[in-house]
Amino acid sequence: MLPEGSDGDPQLMDSPPAFAELMALKQLDSPSHLYGIPSDEPEKIERFQSLASPYPPGEGQMAFGGHVYAQSAYAASKTVEKGFVIHDMTGTFILPGRLDVPYVYTVRHVRDGKMYCTRAVDARQEGKVCFSCLCSFKRDEGPETFGHHPPSAQERFKSILEAKRTEDQIVSPSVDADWWIEVVEQGSVTEREFPGLDMRKTDMQGYNLTEDVKQNPENYRQLHQYSLKGSPQDSTVSVSKEELKVKEQSGEYDNLYACAHMYASDRNSLLLIPRALGHKNWTAMASLTLTVIFHQRGDALRMIDWDSTMSHDGTELPKKWFVQEGWTPRSGENRAIHESWLWSPDGKLVATSYQDSLLRLRKHGREEKL
Which burial class, exposed, middle or buried, applies to 367 when counting CB atoms under 10 A from its CB (0-12, 13-18, 19+)? middle
Query: What is the average pLDDT score of the chain?
Result: 92
- Measured CA to CA in angstroms, residue 125 lies from 17, 49, 58, 66, 121 at distances of 23, 10, 21, 16, 13
Confidence of residue 37 (pLDDT cuts 50, 70, 90): low
Indicate whether 112 pLDDT > 80: yes
User: Is the CATH number of domain 153-361 3.10.129.10?
Assistant: yes
The per-residue pLDDT for 363 is 72
Q: What does the alpha-carbon distance between residue 192 and residue 99 come to, in Å, rounded to a whole number?
A: 15
Report whether 84 contacts 139 (CB < 8 A): yes
The per-residue pLDDT for 11 is 65
Indicate whether 242 pLDDT > 50: yes
Confidence of residue 278 (pLDDT cuts 50, 70, 90): very high
Closest CA to 150 of 301, 339, 357: 339
The per-residue pLDDT for 272 is 98
CATH 3.10.129.10 segments of the chain: 19-138, 153-361
Percent of residues, the chain, with pLDDT higher than 70: 91
Closest CA to 275 of 181, 343, 342: 181
Percent of residues, the chain, with pLDDT higher than 90: 83
Indicate whether 369 pLDDT > 50: no
Query: In whole angstroms, what separates CA 78 from the centre of its chain?
Result: 18
Domain 19-138, CATH number (from 3.40.605.10, 3.40.50.150, 1.10.645.10, 3.10.129.10)? 3.10.129.10
The per-residue pLDDT for 179 is 93
Q: Is 230 left (phi over 0), alpha (psi -120 to 50) or beta?
A: left
Closest CA to 347 of 208, 143, 156: 156
> Can you name the residues that pair with 147 across neighbouring β-strands?
none
Confidence of residue 274 (pLDDT cuts 50, 70, 90): very high
| Helix spans in 250-307 (H) | 254-265, 272-277
The per-residue pLDDT for 370 is 35
Q: 179-216: buried (b, 16+ CB within 10 Å) or exposed (e) per residue? A: ebeebbeeeeeebeebbbbbbbbbebeebbeeeebeee
Confidence of residue 42 (pLDDT cuts 50, 70, 90): low
Q: Is 177 left (phi over 0), alpha (psi -120 to 50) or beta?
A: beta
Confidence of residue 335 (pLDDT cuts 50, 70, 90): very high
